[in-house]
Amino acid sequence: MKAMILAAGLGTRLRPLTDTTPKPLLPVAGTPMIVWNLLLLKRHGIRDVVINLHHLGSMISQALGDGRALGMRIVYSQEPIILGTGGGIKQAEPHFNGEPVLILNGDTLFELDLGALMTFHREQQAAATLVLRKDPEAARWGLVEVTDRGEVVRITGRGRADSAQTLARMFAGIHILHPRLLRSLPAGKECSIIDAYVQGIQDGERIVGYDFDGFWSDVGTPERYAQVERDAAAGLLSLSARKS
């Protein structure tokens, strides 16, 4: 399976750090965040990666090159106009060759068995698998409603209108999708991947959730950036364990 790392964001909440350095290149324990995720992918056998670029994108491509130094193959999807999570993934679709792709955020650090996730996705015969977390403030992050069988029925209130009892979850920004779900998204325009998932739910596509309670950090603010540095120092996030 190929992977895509979303790395085009502006990082506005981390300014002034991101005025001169793209957020995925900000170091955690001395290693750029995006490298943590590349090594996690490599550990689980994924070596073909697409990275989308916009804000200070040339710095990312210069730092990582073609991936050979990491034992990987990296290609880039340039976005002169930022396209959001949906538009960015849709633009990169030709690189997926019609096969499911694992999507990660370049500014989210986590410890997850990606091999188990990929096995789950195949066994579920799902069009998409969303990694979900229990969170008392799930609605603040974007409420995902799932049945007791793990089927996603609504995201931020959109999707199926049935009244079946559901469980509240938040989306961790880690997902596997089949490119056919991208057909409803406009080409070359900014949009969210959530739009594709909502349309898929309404069209009867099988979209499932994968519960995850391990280490996870969305490094979006100075406070969370400082916290993930402390977490790495405490051993909650281990770079060496990711190397293959």
pLDDT, tens digit (0-9, with 9 covering 90-100), for 190-239:
999 999 999 999 999 999 999 999 999 888 788 888 888 888 888 888 66
- Is the domain spanning 2-236 CATH 3.30.300.30? The answer is no
State residue 142's pLDDT score. Answer: 82
Q: Kindly provide the residue ranges of all beta strands, DSSP E only, lying in 117-241, ordered along the sequence.
A: 128-133, 143-146, 152-155, 158-159, 167-177, 207-211, 216-218
Distances (CA, A) of 240 to 39, 43, 128, 174, 218: 9, 10, 30, 21, 21
| Res 240 pLDDT > 60 | no
pLDDT at position 243? 40
Question: Where are the chain's structural domains?
Answer: 2-236
What pLDDT does 93 receive?
A: 95
pLDDT tens-digit series, residues 59-118:
999 999 999 999 999 999 999 989 999 999 999 999 999 999 999 998 899 999 999 999
Residue 242, pLDDT score: 44
CA distance linking residue 79 with residue 190, whole number of Å: 10
Q: For residue 1, how far is the Cα from the chain centroid?
A: 15
The whole-number pLDDT of residue 236 equals 84
Cβ density class 81-94: b for 16+ within 10 Å, e for less: eebbbbbbbbbbbe
**Nearest by Cα to 9 from 85, 67, 64, 66:** 85
What are 13's two structure tokens? Answer: 């909440």
pTM of the model: 0.91
pLDDT at 241 over 50: no
Residues 8-31 pLDDT 10s: 876 677 677 667 788 899 888 889
CA distance 64 to 16: 23
* Assigned token pair, 98: 């019609």
